[in-house]
Amino acid sequence: MKTLSRSLTGILIFILIWQIVALLLNKPIIVPSPTETLKTLWRLLADPVIMAAAFQTAWKVFLALGLVLVLGIPAGLLLGLMEGLYDMSRPVIMLIQAVPVISWLSLVLFTWGPSWEGPVLIAFLSLLPMAILTTVSGVRNLDQNLLEMARVYEVDKKKIIKDIYLGSLLPFIIAIIDVSIGHAWKVILVAEYLAGNSGLGRKIYDARYFVAVADMWALTLIAVILGLLTERLIKIGLRRASKKWMPA
């Protein structure tokens, strides 16, 4: 309760500072007042087109995240188990990690033009190296005592992978999702803005194009709230699922 009231006080102070800056600057084209922005936010929240755009952004985030988990974790598991393959793949992974988002943007624009695939691919590529490398470090941090126990009891390899490897990797998978979800929102919004044909990022682009600054900030607020909300819900879900056995 105390934390909540402190957080609310913080938000109120932020809005107050925003109001003061808006008044002092008196340039709504740069900083619209919070009252105007909140009024616009209210209007946009009731607009089905904006809600559809929010949904389009959200599914792209989940699709990119899903692809990162489905492809990144098995790849990381494989590379963690096979040192030679890891040494071979590491430069490529580092290369993908180092390529700036704008280069991917150019590539997807040339390939698809403004599309939904572009943002998903860009988010996927910018998160994949981290997912692979985190999984590799998870495999390397496996409890050797458990593996030795499995060897002593001559347990089947498939069972070892399922029961020991995947279980040990769960905290690392949680870490991947923790880091990825916030990052995915931001990358998808940027990619939608620059190379997308739908979603909140595209709506922010349109608002900028028509110099609807209050709309731009209200859309940003919607994106922030949605991002934080999904991040929070996913984290709570994951923590609950692993609470029973995760070391405190």
Partner 1 sequence: MDASLIAENLSKSFSTLKVLDRWNLKIEKSERIVLLGPSGAGKTSFLKMLSGIDSPSSGSLEVFADKIGFVFQEPRLIPWRTVRENLLFVNEDGKIDAVLEKLRLKGFADYYPGQLSGGMQQRVNLARALLLEPDLLILDEAFSSLDLPVKKSIMEDMLKQWQVKRFTILAVTHDLKEALYMADRIIILSSRPSRIVREFTVDLDSCRTFSSPELLALESQLLDIVFQDDAYGISHLSG
Write the Ramachandran bin of 172: left for phi over 0, alpha for psi from -120 to 50, otherwise beta: alpha
Decide if residue 159 touches partner 1 (CB under 8 A): yes
Q: Supply 125's token pair.
A: 């590529």
* Stretch in the footprint of partner 1 (CB under 8 A) among 42-50, 94-102, 178-186, 238-246: 238-246
Decide if residue 153 touches partner 1 (CB under 8 A): yes
Distance CA 181, CA 196 (A): 19
Max Cα separation, the chain?
75
Residue closer to partner 1, measured from CB, 69 or 150: 150
Decide if residue 247 touches partner 1 (CB under 8 A): yes
Residue closer to partner 1, measured from CB, 142 or 226: 142
For residues 219 and 204, the answer to whether their CB atoms sit within 8 Å is: yes
Question: Which residue from 38, 45, 96, 170 is in contact with partner 1, where contact means CB under 8 A?
Answer: 170
Residue 170: CB atoms within 10 Å:
15
* Stretch in the footprint of partner 1 (CB under 8 A) among 72-80, 102-110, 112-120, 239-247: 239-247
Residue 49: CB atoms within 10 Å:
9
Question: Which residue from 18, 19, 115, 167 is in contact with partner 1, where contact means CB under 8 A?
Answer: 167
Residue closer to partner 1, measured from CB, 6 or 162: 162
Residue closer to partner 1, measured from CB, 2 or 243: 243
Q: How is 89-128 classified by DSSP, letter by letter?
A: HHHHHHHHHHS-HHHHHHHHHHHHSS-SHHHHHHHHHHHH
User: Which amino acid makes up residue 110?
Assistant: F
Number of residues that bind partner 1 (CB under 8 A): 19
**74-103 residues near partner 1, rule: CB under 8 A:** none
Residues 6+ apart with CB under 8 A from 77: 135, 139, 161, 165, 169
Decide if residue 15 touches partner 1 (CB under 8 A): no
**129-148 residues near partner 1, rule: CB under 8 A:** 145-146, 148
Query: Given the rule CB under 8 A, which residues bind partner 1?
Result: 145-146, 148-153, 155, 159, 163-164, 167, 170, 242, 244-247
